[in-house]
Structure 1
Amino acid sequence: MRLIQIEGGSGPAEALKIAEQADPTPGPGEVVIQVRAAGINRPDLLQRRGGYPPPPGASPILGLEVAGEIAALGEGVSQWRRGDRVCALLGGGGYAEQAVVDARHVLPIPEGLSFVQAAALPETVSTVFANVFEAGGLKAGQTLLIHGATSGIGVTAIQMAKAAGAAVIATSRGADKAKAAQALGADVSLDARSDDLAAAIAEAGGVDVLLDMVGRDYAELNLKALKPGGRWVVIASLSGSVVEIDLMRIMLKRLVLTGSTLRSRSADEKARLTAAVKATVWPWVASGAVRPPVQAVYPLDKAAEAHGALEAGDHIGKFVLTP
Structure 2
Amino acid sequence: MRAVLIKGGKGPVENLFIGNAPKPSPSAQQVLVKIKAFGLNRMDLSQREGHYPPPPGSSDILGVEFSGTVDELGSSVTEWKTGDEVLGLAGGGAYAEYIAVAKTHIWRKPTNLSWVEAASIPENWLTAFQAVSYEGGIQKGEVALVHAGASGVGVAANQLARFFGASRVFTTASSKEKLDWLLKIPEGPTDAINYKTENFAEIIKKETGGKGVNLIVDFVGKDHWEKNIDALSIDGRMILLAFLSGNDPKVNLGPLLYKRLRIQGSTLRSRSVDYQTGLIAAFRDKAFGSITGENGNGLLKSYIHAVYPWTKVQEAHKEMAANANSGKIILEVV
- TM-score per shorter chain, which class? over 0.9
Q: How many residues align?
A: 322
**Contact 1:89 1:123 survives alignment (8 Å):** yes
Is 1:309–2:315 an aligned residue pair?
A: no
Q: Structure 1 pair 196/56, CA: closer, same or farther in 2 (3 Å)?
A: closer
Q: Indicate the SS of the match to 2:301.
A: coil
Aligned pairs for 1:29-40 (under 5 A) are 29-40=29-40
- How much does 1:10 deviate? 3.6
- How much does 1:22 deviate? 3.3
**Contact 1:163 1:284 survives alignment (8 Å):** no
Distance 2:289 2:139 in 1: 17
- How much does 1:134 deviate? 2.0
Is 1:280–2:286 an aligned residue pair?
A: yes
- How much does 1:214 deviate? 0.7
1:240 aligned partner = 246
1:176 aligned partner = 177
Aligned pairs for 1:186-205 (under 5 A) are 186-205=189-208
Aligned pairs for 1:37-186 (under 5 A) are 37-166=37-166, 167-184=168-185, 185-186=188-189
Normalised TM-score (structure 2): 0.94
Q: Alpha-carbon deviations, 1:102-139, whole Å to 9, x = none?
A: 01011111230001001010011111122221221111
Shifted more, 45-54 versus 78-87: the winner is 78-87
Letter in 2 for 1:21: A
Letter in 2 for 1:176: E
1:20 aligned partner = 20
Normalised TM-score (structure 1): 0.97
**Contact 1:131 1:259 survives alignment (8 Å):** no
Distance 1:176 1:66 in 2: 29
1:209 aligned partner = 215
Distance 1:24 1:52 in 2: 22
**Contact 2:63 2:93 survives alignment (8 Å):** yes
Letter in 1 for 2:303: P
Shifted more, 278-287 versus 42-51: the winner is 278-287
Distance 1:51 1:71 in 2: 32
Distance 1:248 1:68 in 2: 50
Distance 1:254 1:148 in 2: 25
Letter in 2 for 1:200: I
Distance 1:90 1:52 in 2: 15
Distance 1:283 1:91 in 2: 24
**Contact 2:220 2:244 survives alignment (8 Å):** yes
For structure 1, list consecutive stretches of 5 or more residues without a partner in the other structure.
Answer: none
Corresponding residue to 1:295 among 284, 305, 315: 305
For structure 2, list consecutive stretches of 5 or more residues without a partner in the other structure.
Answer: none
4+ residue runs of structure 1 moved beyond 6 angstroms?
none
Shifted more, 50-59 versus 259-268: the winner is 259-268
Distance 1:289 1:33 in 2: 29
- How much does 1:272 deviate? 1.2
Shifted more, 97-106 versus 266-275: the winner is 266-275
Shifted more, 41-50 versus 190-199: the winner is 190-199
Distance 2:74 2:11 in 1: 38
Distance 1:220 1:19 in 2: 46
Over the residues paired in the alignment, what is the CA RMSD in angstroms?
1.2
Letter in 2 for 1:88: G
